[in-house]
Amino acid sequence: MAKSQARVRVPKSAGKGEVVEIKTLISHEMESGQRKDKDGNPIPRKIINRFVCTMNGEEVFSADLEPAISANPYLSFYVKVEAPAELAFAWHDDDGSVYEAGETIAVA
Amino acid sequence: MRETSTMQQSALSGITRRRFVVTVAAGSAAAAALAMLPIDPVAAQEGPKTLDEAIKAAIGDRQPADGAGVISLDVPQIAENGNTVPLSVAVDSPMTAEDYVRTVHLFADGNPRPGVIAFNFTPRSGRAEAATRMRLARTQNVVALAELSDGRVLMTQAEVKVTIGGCGG
């Protein structure tokens, strides 16, 4: 099975107290569980069901995804940068896999 | 929580307790094991089936107030391809520790299951705004429910006309 590739766009630096936009994309089929194969058998559900972003170890944003989210799920959201930030991103698959990425933001 | 409900539903679908325990013990293999069991594919699906059930599951018995002036729900009026419909939602909030938006639940009332996504914010988010892309099976209403830190719930909705539905296959 193709390994999910995560891409994250984060500004390199921010002013103290600045609210910055984070954009994320991960390659994943997001199989809804609603479809049938050509023999009429249902194709089992396999989606990313949860996304979590932490900043310096504390949760800052998360999302609970349902099968209605498109393949290769895109998420954008904001974080308020008060200090140099270590951002960690985690995508949780129905099969128990967790795909991870990380970025840092310097405070200018 | 999501996985627990899958387990409960499959247990109700007629597998024995012993087999259920074995399935749970299989841990991450459980999803694969479930897929092989001869269970009703519809029963195997998760989550509420109707919009009313989904709203109740999200906010209990609280009554949502009109959030039209506070929540901006940005969806296209016409979506040519229901497989990937852009969705952006923003709630007007100071996002301080005392007053912030906890969660925005999004539903689509004409999909096989109404759940779309829940965005969970914190005061560290700075702004209660997020975006994604969703599937819409047909022309329908998209509903946004915002749960605020003081317990209040606001609701708004917008219609999307879908030219080609997004549940193909």
What pLDDT shows up at residue A98? 96
What are the distances in angstroms from CA B86 to CA B73, B79, B80, B105, B133? Answer: 11, 9, 11, 16, 4
Strand partners, A92: A50, A98
> What tokens were used for B162?
């879908």
Find the CATH number of the domain harbouring A102.
2.60.40.10
Is the predicted pLDDT of residue B167 greater than 90, yes or no?
A: no
CB B83 within 8 A of CB B120: no
Residue with tokens 């498109």: A70
What pLDDT shows up at residue A26? 97
Kindly report the nearest CA distance between residue A49 and chain B, in angstroms. Answer: 9
For chain A, say whether B126 makes contact (Cβ under 8 Å).
yes
What pLDDT shows up at residue B58? 94
Q: Which of the residue ranges A92-96, B12-16, B20-24 has the most confident prediction, judged by mean pLDDT?
A: A92-96
State how many domains chain A has: 1
Q: Which domain holds residue A20?
A: 6-34+41-75+82-107
Is the predicted pLDDT of residue B56 greater than 60, yes or no?
A: yes
Q: Say if the Cβ atoms of B130 and A45 lie within 8 Å.
A: no
Q: Which domain holds residue B96?
A: 51-164
pLDDT tens digits, A25-37: 999 999 999 899 9
> What tokens were used for A76?
């954008």
What are the distances in angstroms from CA B135 to CA B2, B58, B67? Answer: 20, 20, 24
B70 in the same domain as B22: no
Kindly report the nearest CA distance between residue B53 and chain A, in angstroms. Answer: 15
What letter represents residue A35's amino acid?
R
Residue of A nearest to B29 (CA): A95
Measured distance CA(B113)–CA(B139) in Å, rounded: 14
Domain-embedded: residue B169: no
**pLDDT band per the 50, 70, 90 thresholds, residue A2:** low
Angle at which helices B17-25 and B2-12 pack, to 10 degrees? 150
What pLDDT shows up at residue B157? 97
B144 in the same domain as B70: yes
In the sheet with B128-134, reading across from the earlier edge strand, the strands are: A6-9, A18-26, A74-81, B128-134, B85-91, B71-74
What pLDDT shows up at residue B46? 67
Measured distance CA(B57)–CA(A26) in Å, rounded: 28
Measured distance CA(B119)–CA(B131) in Å, rounded: 9
Is the predicted pLDDT of residue A66 greater than 50, yes or no?
A: yes
Mean local confidence (pLDDT), A82-89: 97
CB A105 within 8 A of CB A11: yes
For chain A, say whether B147 makes contact (Cβ under 8 Å).
no
What pLDDT shows up at residue B38? 43
What pLDDT shows up at residue B13? 45
State how many domains chain B has: 2
Q: Mean pLDDT score of chain B, rounded to an integer?
A: 81
Residue of A nearest to B89 (CA): A77
Kindly report the nearest CA distance between residue B119 and chain A, in angstroms. Answer: 5
Residue of A nearest to B117 (CA): A65
Kindly report the nearest CA distance between residue B31 and chain A, in angstroms. Answer: 6
Domain-embedded: residue B20: yes
Question: Which has more confidence, B57 or A108?
Answer: B57
Q: Say if the Cβ atoms of B166 and A61 lie within 8 Å.
A: no
**pLDDT band per the 50, 70, 90 thresholds, residue B165:** confident
Question: Which has more confidence, B86 or A1?
Answer: B86
**pLDDT band per the 50, 70, 90 thresholds, residue B33:** very low
**ipTM of predicted complex:** 0.95
B71 in the same domain as B15: no
